[in-house]
Amino acid sequence: MKSSFQDEVRELMKKNRRETDGYEYTVPSPKSYPYQWLWDSCFHAVIYSYIDIEAAKRELESVVARQFENGMLPHMIYWEKVDGMLDIEWGKEDTSTITQPPIIGYAVCKVYEKSGDKKFLEKIYPKLWHYTRYLLNDRDPRGNHLIGIINPDESGEDDSPRFDVPLGLPPKHTLDENFKKRLALVEKNKACNFDAPFCMKNNFWVKDVPFNAIMVEHLYRMQDLADELVRAEDKEYFSEQADKVKHAMREKLLENGVMWPAYSEKYIKMKVATWAIFAPMLGKIYTNSEAEDIVENYLLSNDHFRTPFFLPTVSKSEESFDPDGFWRGPVWIFTNWMVYRGLLEYKMYGVAEQIRNSSMQLINKSGFREHFNPFTGEGQGAHNFTWGGLILDM
């Protein structure tokens, strides 16, 4: 890693860092996203683990500080309200009332690996344990071993076309139409009194592929952390749960070698080809031959994901594909990071390297932007956006 890139990341993170009430956290983009987000802060901790280990610990301590009584970690914390922002009424004063994918196990492991700080681990572990139990219980009330999400925003990919069908939207629609549907779900969540398992599941209940793949990875990392803390029972529990989620994904989401998200309790598959089909490489949920086929038939195929800049979030073959849309085509560095890490599991180093190089080219060409046009590499969305720093972990 060239030190100049590291210096640029350090500079960016410093500018986006905030302190409120003794809590230190980093905003993803000062103008567009001036609050704390759950998965963003996990990415930040991973980034900080390469440049400022103390900042990494503080970032994670603040992101778990507003954990709900039932164990849920809210996806947003409004430490300080910023004037002029379009704020959603989530039903709580200083947090949102939905969650985001559990990258937190990976992030805590990374920080522990680099710091060896057992006190930090002992302090944060119960919060992670509680959150993990929440996901395994409240988000899977029938014990099917797949985690359900109650709003597309919980996937972290707000407008992804994976969710068009359960939202009742056609492949082409406006940002506003999409936003209204998601807001309606927020209203329903309030009316449900934030009861996911018995109430919200009747409105929107998607077993998404990346969320569940990240869950498998999270459970493996929880297993490692339990081991560090000599908690044999926990270790066994997390390992069993990881196997169960993995097995359920294969049983309920796999069709002809490809995993698709499913909605409703009937497990209706939504076969929209997005980058999500590669997500189960993380956690090694595909077999070797399934992973090889999917890389050849989709990732490297001109009909699907091969573009001058890797990796579009939606296949070019989809009617919904829009190289300038929000989560509907552009390249995001997080999705690249996740596919990169998945490819490593299968020792596909060459393709992984192509993804890493492409990510670096995008930042060199267009700076720290939120997402990028996969044909031209042009930067789009928020400026001074932190996720580019994830290349340090690639």
User: Minimum Å distance from CB 331 to ligand GLC?
Assistant: 14
- Nearer to ligand GLC by Cβ, of 37 and 120: the residue is 37
Determine if 28 is a binding residue for ligand GLC (CB under 6 A): yes
Residue 90 to residue 119: CA distance in whole angstroms: 34
CB of 155 to ligand GLC, least distance (A): 8
CA distances from 145 to 263, 341, 362 (A): 14, 24, 38
Describe the chain by its helix, strand, coil percentages, rounded to 5: 50, 10, 40
Q: Using CA atoms in the order 61, 63, 66, 69, what is the torsion angle rounded to 10 degrees? A: -90
Closer of 158 and 293 to ligand GLC (Cβ): 158
- Residues 24-56, buried b or exposed e (16+ Cβ, 10 A)? bbbbbbeeebbbbbbbbbbbbbbbbbbbbbebb
Answer yes or no whether residue 39 interacts with ligand GLC by CB under 6 A.
Answer: yes
Member of 25, 26, 34, 40 binding ligand GLC (CB under 6 A): 40
- Rounded Cα gap, residues 52 and 165, in angstroms: 43
Question: How many residues belong to the chain?
Answer: 394
Amino acid at 264: S
- Of positions 33, 79, 237, 286, contacts ligand GLC by CB under 6 A: 33
Among 9, 13, 37, 249, binds ligand GLC (CB under 6 A): 37
Question: Judged by CB, which is closer to ligand GLC: 37, or 310?
Answer: 37
Q: How far apart are CA 333 and CA 356, in angstroms?
A: 9
Please tell me the count of residues contacting ligand GLC according to CB under 6 A. Answer: 7
Output 185 or 291, the one with its CB closest to ligand GLC: 185
Q: Please, which residue, 241 or 366, has the CB nearer to ligand GLC? A: 366
Closer by beta carbon to ligand GLC, 121 or else 333: 333
Q: If binding is defined by CB under 6 A, does position 156 make contact with ligand GLC?
A: yes
Q: Which residues bind ligand GLC (CB under 6 A)?
A: 28, 33, 37, 39-40, 156, 158
